[in-house]
Copies of this chain bind each other. A is one copy, B any other.
């Protein structure tokens, strides 16, 4: 239960509290490193903290996302998955084999600026998932 990161100060600074439930969930996200569905998170975190409920998992994941400690992502089927917040990035997924890679946010910077100037909006964040065929599946098919 001891991550190198200590997330508690980030929460306290915003007037929120660190709880055993949040710790367990952050721990799971932090150590898995990849996308997890709410059910995945529940399954793993529940082992560390038996009393934990699914309700709390859903609420906590949303809470962590709102506060920048976790990132939600859409993976094509309309359901959300979550991962621990690291550098800002997006996802590119193969429609054929399901393989998935990260897209650096830097790649989108100029498009972001163009979008801001054309729309007048000040962009804060985005949910971007790209789909295509990975190099391997382009040959095979």
Contact = CB atoms under 8 A, between A and B. Distances in A.
Interface of A: 72, 74, 76, 78-80, 92, 94-95, 101, 103, 107-108, 110-111, 114-116, 118-135, 138
Contact of A92 (B114, B115, B132): B115
Contacts of A101: 119, 121
Contact of A126 (B116, B122, B131): B131
A35 to B, nearest CB: 14
Oligomer: number of copies: 2
A121 B134 contact: yes
Contacts of A107: 111, 114-115, 118
Contacts of A124: 95, 131-133
